[in-house]
Amino acid sequence: MQPSSASLSYDYSVAKLFTYTMVIFGIIGMLVGVLLAFQMAWPAFNLTILGDYAEFVAFGRLRPLHTNGIIYGFMLSGIWASWYYISQRVLKISFNEHPFLRALGYIHFWLYVVILALAVVTLFAGFTQNKEYIELIWPIDVLVVVLWVVWGLHIWGAIGVRREKSLYISLWYFIATFLAIAMLYITNNLQIPTFISGYGSLLNSVSMYSGTNDALIQWWWGHNAVAFVFTSAVIALVYYFMPKEAGAPVYSYKLSLYSFWSLMFVYLWAGGHHLIYSTVPDWMQTMGSVFSVVLILPSWGTAINFLLTLRGQWHQVTTNPIIKMLILASVFYMFSTLEGPIQSIKSVNALAHFTDWIVGHVHDGVLGWVCFSVMAATYHMVPRMYGRKLYSAKLIDIQFWVQTTGIVLYFTSMWIAGITQGLMWRAVDDYGSLLYSFIDTVNALHPYYVIRGVGGALYFVGFLIFVWNVIKSITSGDKVEKEPVAATPISAS
Ligand code: HEM
Ligand code: HEM
């Protein structure tokens, strides 16, 4: 006879480990982000007083540490913590009954830690492939491929031994993340190590693509890193935690099905929007632009499905802080997936490209949608993994407002900065001469960079409150006897 899911005792050992790296890399990544923001406002923050050591904290060295640390350290940890938590539940298995799945989980985690350590050291030391979001040098890339295979084995292994026949929506999205990143990471990483020629170094390599082809492959990857790390994996989380937390079924199975397949089909063609007015053939740019606008449909279809899951449950917005966070995340998902298509329209992109408006778009997506989803997921999982209530609802509320204020300051300042920048760059006098020199734009942007720094610092403070709340929940939250079915219990503090 099959055990019911309630009688299975789940194994959270791997999920807990990934939660720790999520917290650590969240702190490091955001702290570096705040430093970068202040470096742009006041160059003195590049700390040239450090003399020969200043290179290690200069903007150019720290920026890839921020993007890699926060995307592949913080976000992936959050996604994997959720995978090791969710997969047991939706597949009705426990890693306690399948030690090989637990062992794969440990291999996955420790190999990940090794890669993270190597990534931090090499990026600090200035070793990079010079391709955005895929900076790691080729020997580390090889380890990343092994890591991905291990995760794949875990996914297929867990699916292979499942009791639950049907695959829950979240699993489709996890599988999509796995397959798409595997394909794109390898394709964009086809490199030739230079030591083969007898002259280069062991750590150096050159891309197998050149010129326009290289740009196309790079942004095929770059855009789909957004699609399959920042988007599909995060959708997997919300599809699980939103209905669980609300105690209500997903609004529409059909809508989830349509949105899933259309998202999969459309996203892969949209990367050309990063290369508008470049040397890429015009029809490819137009294709990128058109597919980007079409992307609004599956993106909003998903977000609407999240929000309508709360039909009849809207009172929970005031009573359940985790629901409030998930709603904010869904709204920011809608927001950034409307803004992105607008920026993809050729005439708009002519103004927006290379400006801070793009940085604003990135951060309303990642701070509002991605991070809030990951933090809400953690708040849901921690009490169930540790058998303790969340420490404080008040702290979640404070965190919520501090971070929301931070996001608003961040993206509004970057909108104004970006549009100002774009307009100043193209302004000409009656004779067609440029009206402004580059340094004029830099001076004009200063106040907005300061506001962005303050917004980022607030967001970081909110994250520290989150970490404190999680630590206190684990160490001194009230004990829960029976696992809560829906809303996560919070201590009455
Ligand atoms: C319908 C969905 C979306 C579309 C059509 C879209 C479109 C765009 C466009 C046009 C750019 C600027 C390209 C340029 O001129 O440089 C961009 C940049 C970017 N977007 Fe989106 N976006 C979407 C959703 C998102 C979401 C949800 C996130 C994050 C959660 C995101 C993260 C990014 C990032 C990281 C970049 C910067 C890439 C770089 O380094 O240049 N996007 N997006
Ligand atoms: C405390 C919060 C944060 C602050 C203050 C911050 C600040 C910054 C700054 C100053 C840059 C460089 C912009 C430039 O080159 O002009 C940047 C880039 C970036 N950050 Fe953040 N960041 C924060 C959080 C995050 C998070 C949580 C993520 C992802 C989950 C993220 C992803 C990125 C990405 C993808 C870029 C590259 C954008 C592009 O090339 O257009 N950041 N960030």
Q: Domain locations in the chain? A: 9-140, 168-195+205-353, 355-493
Residue 276 in this model has a pLDDT that exceeds 50: yes
| Amino acid identity, position 456 | G
What is the rounded CA–CA span in Å between residue 227 and residue 230? Answer: 6
Output the pLDDT for position 314. Answer: 94
| 275, 336, 411, best to mutate for ligand 1 pocket (most atoms within 8 Å of CB) | 336
Judged by average pLDDT, the poorest of 3-7, 177-181, 455-459 is: 3-7
CB 50 within 8 A of CB 57: yes
What is the rounded CA–CA span in Å between residue 371 and residue 377? Answer: 10
What is the rounded CA–CA span in Å between residue 169 and residue 174? Answer: 9
Q: 């790079």: which residue's tokens? A: 218
Ligand nearest to the CA of 302: 1
Residue range 296-350, pLDDT digits in tens: 999 999 999 999 999 999 999 999 999 999 999 999 999 999 999 999 999 999 9
The minimum-distance atom of ligand 2 relative to the CA of 30 is 1
In this structure, the residues whose C-beta lies within 6 A of any atom of ligand 1 are 132, 222, 226, 230-231, 270, 273-274, 292, 295-296, 299, 336-337, 340-341, 343-344, 349, 352-353, 358, 361-362, 365-366, 369-370
Q: Across residues 281-308, what is the average pLDDT?
A: 97
DSSP β-ladder status, 205-207 and 191-193:
antiparallel
Output the pLDDT for position 1. Answer: 42
DSSP secondary structure, 238-265, as one string: HHHHHHHHHTS--S-HHHHHHHHHHHHH
Q: Across residues 354-363, what is the average pLDDT?
A: 98
The residue that leads in pLDDT, 481 or 374, is 374
What is the rounded CA–CA span in Å between residue 362 and residue 380? Answer: 26
Residue range 412-452, pLDDT digits in tens: 999 999 999 999 999 999 999 999 999 999 999 999 999 99
Q: Is 133 left (phi over 0), alpha (psi -120 to 50) or beta?
A: left
What is the rounded CA–CA span in Å between residue 223 and residue 245? Answer: 31
Sign of the alpha-carbon dihedral angle for 371, 377, 378, 379: positive
Within 180-219, strands assigned E span 191-193, 205-207
What is the rounded CA–CA span in Å between residue 442 and residue 424? Answer: 10
Q: What is the dihedral of CA 478, 481, 486, 489, to 10 degrees?
A: -10
- The CA distances from residue 32 to 26, 269, 391, in Å, are 10, 33, 28
What is the CA(248)–ligand 1 centre distance, in A? 32
What is the CA(388)–ligand 2 centre distance, in A? 34
Q: What is the dihedral of CA 422, 425, 427, 428, to 10 degrees?
A: -160
The rounded percent of the chain whose pLDDT value lies above 70 is 98
DSSP secondary structure, 379-448, as one string: HHHHHHHHTB-BS-HHHHHHHHHHHHHHHHHHHHHHHHHHHHHHHHHH-B-TTS-BS--HHHHHHHHHHH
Output the pLDDT for position 476. Answer: 93
Q: How many residues does the chain have?
A: 493
Which residues face 490 on adjacent strands?
390
Sign of the alpha-carbon dihedral angle for 85, 475, 110, 97: negative
Which residues face 434 on adjacent strands?
428
List the structure tokens of 166.
């049907």
Output the pLDDT for position 4. Answer: 54
Residue range 215-239, pLDDT digits in tens: 999 999 999 998 999 999 999 999 9
- The CA distances from residue 438 to 191, 354, 418, 423, in Å, are 36, 13, 14, 12
Contacts of 78 (CB under 8 A, 6+ apart): 18, 19, 22, 237, 374, 377, 378
What is the CA(208)–ligand 2 centre distance, in A? 29
CB 368 within 8 A of CB 335: yes
Ligand nearest to the CA of 298: 1
DSSP secondary structure, 314-375, as one string: TTHHHH-HHHHHHHHHHHHHHHHHHHHHHHHSHHHHHHHTTSHHHHHHHHIIIIIIIIHHHH
Q: Across residues 278-301, what is the average pLDDT?
A: 96
Domain with residues 168-195+205-353, CATH architecture: Up-down Bundle (1.20)
Output the pLDDT for position 5. Answer: 53
Residue 295 in this model has a pLDDT that exceeds 80: yes
Output the pLDDT for position 258. Answer: 97
pLDDT range class, residue 197, cuts 50, 70, 90? confident
| 46, 359, 411, 448, best to mutate for ligand 2 pocket (most atoms within 8 Å of CB) | 359
Output the pLDDT for position 363. Answer: 98
The minimum-distance atom of ligand 2 relative to the CA of 358 is 41
What is the rounded CA–CA span in Å between residue 160 and residue 167? Answer: 11
What is the CA(9)–ligand 2 centre distance, in A? 40
Cβ–ligand 2 contact at 30 (below 6 Å) = yes
Average pLDDT of the chain, as a whole number: 95
What is the CA(340)–ligand 1 centre distance, in A? 5
